[in-house]
Amino acid sequence: MAAALTVPVVYGLTGLFRPAPADDADPDRDSTTGLPLAEALEEALDDRLAMSLTRGRATACFLVALDDLPELADRHGQAAVEQVLSRTSQRLRDAVREGDIVCRTDQDGFGVGLATVTHLDLEIAIQLAARLQATVEEPIAVGSGSIYVSCSIGFCLGARAPEATGRGLIHAASLALDEARRNAPSAIRAFSREMSRRVPARAVGQEDVMAALEGGQILPFFQPQVSTDTGRVTGFEALARWCHPERGVIPPDAFLEALRARGQMERLGEVILTRALEALAGWDRAGLTVPSVAVNFSSEELSDPKLVDKVRWQLDRFDLAPERLCIEVLETVIAASPDDSVVRSVNGLAKLGCRVDLDDFGTGHASISSLRRFAVHRLKIDRSFVTKVDRDPDQQRLVAAILSLAEQMGLDSLAEGVETRGEHAMLAQLGCGHIQGYCIARPMPVEQTGDWLRAHAGSLADAPAIGRKLG
């Protein structure tokens, strides 16, 4: 990636670009530059991310926005703006490599999707962004003079996107671009997770969330959980996502409060549970081994005296045994539950045969006696204890203490938010039963789970699991 290749390549086009005449305008292409539109970028990145999931390759998305285009139009006129856009698209195509994609994303912007490569890190990506910027910012000859433009660039590496979909990757790059634009002119920013945490600040309208829930835009993504002993998948956690037609994949932090405020947590629970059980039945039909699916239950749902009947009915409907469903209950809910209806729901579900995980364990200050009131099967160790557990002796002591508590209470254990192989190895060594986190896989849409499961099974056949390796 370091050296600029000179082959001009446009997605689906070869040779030099000529703007299409207006009267036979192709609806899939931008009329000014002839470039494909954002949908093409999304589709291509979907394919590339799927390849990077299964074949260890990397991709990235760059969004390039010309600074101050309206001012340019005021000073030089619309025809000059069109020339600038055409010239910029040509330069971007010249700067990228064969197989990379250049698209027009919006009024003043372009998107670049990289073909997959074996090695791509932040430094290489920043160099590439700087190169794209330098080429765009060369003066542009218009009439007898030159126009000087500047551009801001936001990008995201495929491996860093909160969601492994084309849409998710573009959305992450667009958050980085927003940040770059706040620092314009000529800023370059890489996506960081803090940026996606800022999304809630851009308050989502309660009405919009309600419509999204009823319209089927809110659905679960699935994140695998694996045994540290065998490396095998023992379940998937269903995590709610809002697949927004324009904003891409929106994480639950951005919309759960709006749903809660409208009293819709029970409805959300129904939707996620139905979709999760549907997925489980689908994996069974496809001959894929997924022992269980875990669903997060809010305190609102757990307070519903009819919850156990509703869950039983749903399990019957999909003809699934209750032990295939794992109920995730937050430790805070259990700690703060003088409310008998919550105790009755959790114990009723356990009696039905469902498994119960105590989520975010270690943060909720539940007393041992309050734990005893609930039929819990597994402690799910909060991510805050897992981070750097391989390098920080304090973290190790805390995790060891939680694991010993689990053992003494006869409970299984699962660590969440495991991001590195080092953390994975240390957790296995400390005796944690299961792990979940980015080092295994990010939450993914149900459509990707089949390929992921097959690739994971293949990789197990090739290499021993970390836990076994450590003995």
Q: Where do contacts with Ca ion occur on this chain (CB under 5 A)?
A: 296, 328, 359-360, 416
Report the residue from 8, 252, 362, 433 that binds ligand C2E according to the rule CB under 6 A: 252
Q: Sort residue 15 into left (φ over 0), alpha (ψ -120 to 50) or beta.
A: left
Q: Which does 229 bind (CB under 5 to 8 A by kind): Ca ion, ligand C2E, none?
A: none
Q: Which does 437 bind (CB under 5 to 8 A by kind): ligand C2E, Ca ion, none?
A: ligand C2E
Report the residue from 154, 244, 416, 467 that binds ligand C2E according to the rule CB under 6 A: 416
Residues 222-241 that bind ligand C2E (CB under 6 A): 223, 239-240
Minimum CB separation of residue 31 from ligand C2E in Å reads 39
Q: Is the peptide bond before 185 cis (omega within 30 degrees of 0)?
A: yes
Residue nearest to ligand C2E (CB): 437
Q: What would the 3-class secondary structure string for 404-423 be?
A: HHHHHCCCEEEECCCCCHHH
Nearer to Ca ion, 179 or 416 (CB): 416
What's the rounded Cα separation, in Å, for the pair 35 and 109? 12
What's the rounded Cα separation, in Å, for the pair 152 and 129? 9
Q: What's CA 60's distance to the chain center, in Å?
A: 14
Report DSSP state, residue 16. S
What's the rounded Cα separation, in Å, for the pair 82 and 107? 11
Report DSSP state, residue 116. P
Here's the x/- map for ligand C2E, 351-380, by CB under 6 A: it reads as: --------xx--------------------
What's the rounded Cα separation, in Å, for the pair 212 and 219? 10
Report the residue from 113, 158, 251, 364 that binds ligand C2E according to the rule CB under 6 A: 251
Nearer to ligand C2E, 94 or 270 (CB): 270
Provide the H-helix boundaries in 8-68: 38-55
427 in contact with ligand C2E (CB under 6 A):
no
Q: Which stretch binds ligand C2E (CB under 6 A): 13-21, 348-356, 435-443, 459-467?
A: 435-443
Minimum CB separation of residue 277 from ligand C2E in Å reads 13
CB 51 within 8 A of CB 57: yes
Q: Which does 438 bind (CB under 5 to 8 A by kind): Ca ion, ligand C2E, none?
A: ligand C2E
Nearer to ligand C2E, 89 or 296 (CB): 296
352 to 307, 323, 331, 411: CA distances (angstroms): 12, 8, 21, 18
Report the residue from 9, 101, 250, 272 that binds ligand C2E according to the rule CB under 6 A: 272
Q: Give the residue carrying structure tokens 């995790």.
A: 399
Provide the H-helix boundaries in 199-287: 206-214, 256-261, 265-285
Minimum CB separation of residue 71 from ligand C2E in Å reads 39
Q: Which does 272 bind (CB under 5 to 8 A by kind): Ca ion, ligand C2E, none?
A: ligand C2E
**Interface contacts to ligand C2E, rule CB under 6 A:** 223, 239-240, 251-253, 256, 268, 272, 296, 298, 359-360, 383, 416-419, 437-438, 443
